[in-house]
Structure 1
Amino acid sequence: MVTDPQPPDSHPFAEFFREAPEGSQHHGRRAAREAANPGRHPREPRRRRPLRGIITLIVAIVLVGGLGAIGTSIYFSYEPQINKIFGAKTVEDYSGDGTADKVSFVIASGDTGDVIGTNLQKADVVKSSATFYALLLKQPTAVVFQPGTYTLAKQMSSQSALTALENPTNHVTISVVIPEGTVAADVLTKVADATGVALTDLQAQAANFTQFGIDASAPNIEGYLFPATYTFEPNTSAHDLIKTMVDRAFQSLDAAGVAPADREKTLTLASVIQKEAAQTPDFYKVSRVFVNRIADGMPLQSDATVAYGTGAKRVDTTDAERNDESNKYNTYVYKGLPVGPISNPGDTAIDAALHPVAGDWIYFVTVNLDTGETVFSSNLDDHNKAVAQYQAWSAANPGSGG
């Protein structure tokens, strides 16, 4: 009797691939036929396919399917035999790392492995979504895809495509650096230049600043575009770009313990400190000077606020500008804080606004624009001496400190 080769006995389902022995009933019928036709050559016994064993195996796989890895292991152990029974075709795949043609491939938040495979096939990155998905199932640990845009090649093997998607260097992002003290108009320009989003779209979104949770009492979005290094996905909308920066400002304010009702006041003082302090260690002293002046009923007399109100990108101002009552940011004319922030301050300036160092100073002047050395005074005579010191330095160093 001819039998099928026996699968290894060590496999737990080996018995499903053993051919059942010829039954006596079948053997008797064949003998009777041969006796009735003595002149004919007996036919070779047909090789029997172990269908019952395979089908039993498939049923077993279904039954243990709930065991996850065990069922998958059993399936892949006998995948060729099962595919042969059901007429499954050999899976298709490209080979290698793909062509020179590049593809910008997007993984959306919530995309599952089968969706990603389907989209890869549509983009002609892989030949078969089924092959890619089968590869995912064979991974020893679950693959976690990060949403975003990836640079891939066309006609990659499924393994090459998977490797590329797991490589962070293929994740396309756009970095934008916003320095501390940058005014809103310049922030929007920097973002537009880096992302390719139209500046007019950004300006339109910024003009409708209350949509981002900023109180309507604010004069504009100034102060709420937090200075930081941002990483944006390609094709991020103007709305979402601005929302990211505003949310980051709220995050810093919340972390500093600033109540929503105090955000505008805190950012306004912090923005003036950010512009006026020549170096970080002086932030807390500058804050004290402004707090003391407000407490004493004195005007802040900040040239930075006056300049902001004129739209000029400088700190020094003229006598005419300091006397201009139409400029609502003119802290020579109007006492107290200006009507709103004059820049976008960072964490240190915010902290300085909340925690000024102890002192009785009401004046300060930077006497060396190259080093940032600043002199703080509690009376006008000492302040005038410091001003003379600055003037002497300026005369000896024309063009310096710009």
Structure 2
Amino acid sequence: MADEPSWDEIFSGSAAGQTTSNQAGTPSRAPSADDLPAPMTRRERRERERLAQEQAETRTAPTASAPSAPAATPGEPSPTLLAASPHEPADTADTVETPATAPAAAGAAAAPKPKAGRSSRPPRDPKPPRQKSPKAQKAPREKKSHRRGAIILVIVLVVVLGGGTAGGFTIYNQYGPKVAALFGAKPSDDYTGSGDGKKVDFTIVSGDIGSTISKKLAAAHITKSASAPYKILLANQNIQFQPGTYSMFEHMSAQSAIDRLQDSNSLITTKLVIPEGTSLKGIIRLMSSVTKIPLATVTAAAKDYRSYGLPSNATSLEGYLFPATYDLQPGKTANFYFQQMVDTMKQHLIDAGVSEPNWEHTIIFASLVQKEAGLAADFPKVARVFQNRIDQGMLLQSDATVAYGAGTTNTVTTTDAQRADASNPYNTYVHKGLPPGPISNPGDVAINAVLHPATGSWLYFVTVNLETGETVFSTTYADHQKAVAQFQAWLRAHPTYQ
């Protein structure tokens, strides 16, 4: 009722036995004991308010999934919404309760009505945003990959910059494998197309076998690997090559490279190219093939080695024919070309600071390093290994020397029987020191390596990757055996080389 006595009047007892006025001039009866709540002490009142506040806080505590509500403004009811409990009526979720308006415990008197001018129910806060069920939620969209853009870029570069010419092959070979790698494709061991337009003079020496030619193609950057052309040669054993120098291109597919080597129009007939490490036997056949001078005539000119001004301790032209490119001149003889090569070697020895009495020793040592070393950076290390073994009285144990003495100058692999053959004066598995003569015709890199060997205590080395030329150098035999095991593992992974 609007004019019920206040709690202060009840607790003070001032209303007992008194009359109150509902309206002016309208008498009102005094409330009976049945109409009034039981008297409460101030302590009981404070305790009831505390219990009501705790009950309200318990019911209004936010759940883990509900968003936290903003704090109430001082003097206003709290705007916190209570979520409906599974065990309570649903409409309790819309009830806003604070300590001043919370219901009392069962059997307690009803709380007084709020002051005039204020609503007993504050306005509801906006409901929290509706949460979609896990099934309804879509997975976040992944960012688009740049792979498609990379492919388009390569195509545009080839079309615009390449124009369908050699430039197109260059760009494709540069970026194509990288694009393929984006899709997880296994890198290819072969190029595509007939080259990038950059010319390379490639020489095949008499005695070169398929594996040798394949390695030389990869080393000259004509093919991407040695395995790609070698697989083709293994599949077709009828392929034959003519010794000579051919005009090739870098970055050719293995098939296009082999086809070009079999094309007589690719054979260069205006130059005589001698690669580093070519033996005298190989140069004789190469000269005859390119100059068209009969093989017998070239062989006879080579045997007359005393006529070319060699040191008195030289035993043949072997080692004194500097590897380089020589222009062919009409009407010139084999003796003319041999003399030109000898003179070039002498000049390079002089330029390197080698005195004539040391020419033979330097050339023998350099010819050994030229055949045994792979990468140019390893030449000084290989020279150091051999020098260390000589200084310690150890056998050189070079397969290249054994093969040369056995007459197989195109390879450095040997058999157990060949390594045990003491009748071979070039067998460094049996005879100590350097071989009695050069085993190849070395270039500047090998000559400089023996004059300036690397610093190190290595006594062993082995090439562990025939495609890259990677070589491991060791000081102890135990470490060397580990490197040998590494090479054997590489051979098992590349059966085409066995």
Q: With structure 2 as the length reference, what TM-score do the two structures score?
A: 0.45
Task: Give the alignment of 1:243-254 within 5 angstroms.
Answer: 243-254=339-350
Alignment equivalent of 1:204, drawn from 282, 297, 300: 300
**Mapping of residues 71-86 of structure 1, within 5 Å:** none
- Partner of 1:271, secondary structure, is helix
- Count of residues paired in the alignment: 230
Structure with bigger helix share is 1
Q: Which secondary structure state, in structure 2, belongs to the residue aligned with residue 399 of structure 1?
A: helix
Gaps of 5+ in 1: 1-172
1:345-398 Cα shifts (integer Å, max 9, x gaps): 000100001110111001000011111110000110100110111111111111
Matches within 5 A, 1:16-31: none
Aligned equivalents of 1:215 and 1:350: distance in 2?
Answer: 17
Distance 1:256 1:222, change over 3 A: same
Which amino acid in structure 1 is aligned with residue 486 of structure 2? Q
Larger relative contact order (CA 8 Å, sep ≥ 6): 1
Q: Which runs of 4+ in 1 moved over 3 A?
A: none
Preserved CA contact (<8 Å) 1:307 1:316: yes
Deviation at 1:202, TM superposition (A): 1.7
- The answer (yes or no) to whether the contact 1:202–1:242 under 8 Å persists in 2 is no
Residue pairs, 1:131-142, within 5 angstroms: none
Letter in 2 for 1:206: A
Instruction: Pick the aligned partner of 2:419 from 319, 322, 326.
Output: 322
Cα deviation 1:148-194 (Å, max 9, x = unaligned)? xxxxxxxxxxxxxxxxxxxxxxxxx8311110011111111111111
Secondary structure of 2:472's counterpart equals strand
**In the TM superposition, what are the counterparts of 1:2-401 in structure 2 within 5 Å?**
174-312=270-408, 313-400=410-497
Residues 224 and 249, structure 1, Cα contact 8 Å, conserved in 2: yes
Shift of 1:217: 2.4
Deviation at 1:221, TM superposition (A): 1.2
Please give the root-mean-square deviation of Cα atoms over the aligned residues, in Å.
1.5
Match of 2:15 in 1: none
Contact 1:219 1:339 in 2 (8 A): no
Cα drift, residue 236 of structure 1: 0.5
2:9 is matched with none
Task: Report the 3-state secondary structure (helix = DSSP H, G, I; strand = E; otherwise coil) of the residue aligned with 2:450.
Answer: helix
Distance in 2, Cα, partners of 1:268 & 1:336: 11
- Aligned equivalents of 2:312 and 2:297: distance in 1? 21
Partner amino acid, structure 2, of 1:315:
V
For residues 469 and 485 of structure 2, what CA distance do their matches in structure 1 show?
16
2:170 aligned residue: none
Cα distance in 1 for partners of 2:284, 2:474 equals 38
SS in 1 for 2:482: helix
* In structure 1, C-alpha distance between the alignment counterparts of 2:290 and 2:400, rounded to whole Å: 28
Does the aligned pair in 2 maintain the 1:253–1:263 contact within 8 Å?
yes
Q: Distance in 2 between matches of 1:325 and 1:179?
A: 31
Counterparts of 1:336 and 1:354 in 2: how far apart (Å)? 17
Q: What corresponds to 1:101 in structure 2?
A: none
Deviation at 1:204, TM superposition (A): 1.1
**Farther-moved stretch of structure 1 (255-264 vs 173-182):** 173-182
The corresponding residue for 1:121 is: none
| Alpha-carbon distance in structure 1 between the residues aligned to 2:280 and 2:331 | 21
Which runs of 5 or more residues in structure 2 are unaligned? 1-268
Q: CA deviation at 1:215?
A: 2.5
- Give the residue type in structure 2 aligned to 1:327: N
What's the CA shift for 1:216?
Answer: 3.8
- Checking the alignment, whether the CA contact within 8 Å between 1:174 and 1:234 is kept in structure 2 is no
TM, length-normalised to structure 1: 0.56
Shift of 1:209: 0.7
TM-superposed CA distance for 1:225, in Å, is: 1.1
What are the superposed Cα offsets for residues 241-261 of structure 1, whole Å, 9 maximum, x if unpaired?
110011111111111111111
The answer on whether the counterparts of 1:272 and 1:305 sit within 8 Å (CA) in structure 2 is yes
Rounded Cα–Cα distance in structure 2 between residues aligned with 1:200 and 1:215: 25
Q: Distance in 1 between matches of 2:343 and 2:444?
A: 14
1:291: how far off?
A: 0.6
**Aligned partners of 2:482 and 2:455: how far apart in 1?**
23
Counterparts of 1:378 and 1:226, CA distance in 2: 33
Q: Could you report, residue by residue, the CA deviation over 1:87-138 in whole angstroms, capped at 9, with x for unpaired residues?
A: xxxxxxxxxxxxxxxxxxxxxxxxxxxxxxxxxxxxxxxxxxxxxxxxxxxx
Q: Label 1:323 to 1:305 Cα distance change in 2 as closer, same or farther (>3 A).
A: same
